[in-house]
Amino acid sequence: ARPKVGYFYSGKSNLDFYKDYIKEIKVDDIKSLPVVVDESTTVYDAIVTLFLEDVGTVCVVSKGLLVGVVSRKDFLKSAIGGVDINKIPVGVIMTRMPNIIVAKPEESIIEAAEKIIEHQVDSLPVVQDAEVDGVKGYKVVGRISKTNITKIFVDLGTKASI
């Protein structure tokens, strides 16, 4: 659907127009590429991936399906908590399905931003329903973070009229 902008008068406040406009922007429009490691990856190698990709969270998959997420905070906790990060697989320290908050590509970015705030996470895996060898789950197709939200906030606040 076309974002509602223009010069018409309908009794709505301008903030209502803004809300209508924002609701048309979908997770799919602003999502970033996902950063994914296998469940068997060591904590150390997952941290290296985190730094190389310069992200705050990595998704953990098994046979192509999402099984967990690990944040920078989780990694820091392991690193100072006496975990042997060179031996322990990331699967041991991750937050595990079904306790993962996800976003769907067709969701509005407002819904995604609300989930980020409500569940106090830095980012959400963007997922699609999938089935592998008869097992139903999620395929990871992107991620949406506070960085994406902050960027769109800056874009809306500074760019020329759309």
**By the criterion CB under 8 A, which residues form the site for a second copy?**
4-7, 9, 11-19, 21-23, 44, 47, 50-51, 54, 72-73, 75-77, 79-80, 85, 110, 113-114, 116-117, 120, 146-147, 149-154, 156-158, 161-162
Please give the backbone phi and psi of residue 80, each rounded to the nearest 5 degrees, phi first: -100, -5
Q: Which is nearer to a second copy, 54 or 129 (CB)?
A: 54
Q: What is the DSSP string of 92-128?
A: HHSEETTS---B-TTSBHHHHHHHHHHTT-SEEEEEE
Q: Which is nearer to a second copy, 117 or 132 (CB)?
A: 117
List 132's β-bridge partners, or say none. Answer: 135
Shortest distance in whole angstroms from residue 32 CB to a second copy: 13
Q: Which helix (DSSP H) or strand (DSSP E) does residue 161 occupy?
A: none
Q: Which is nearer to a second copy, 57 or 65 (CB)?
A: 57
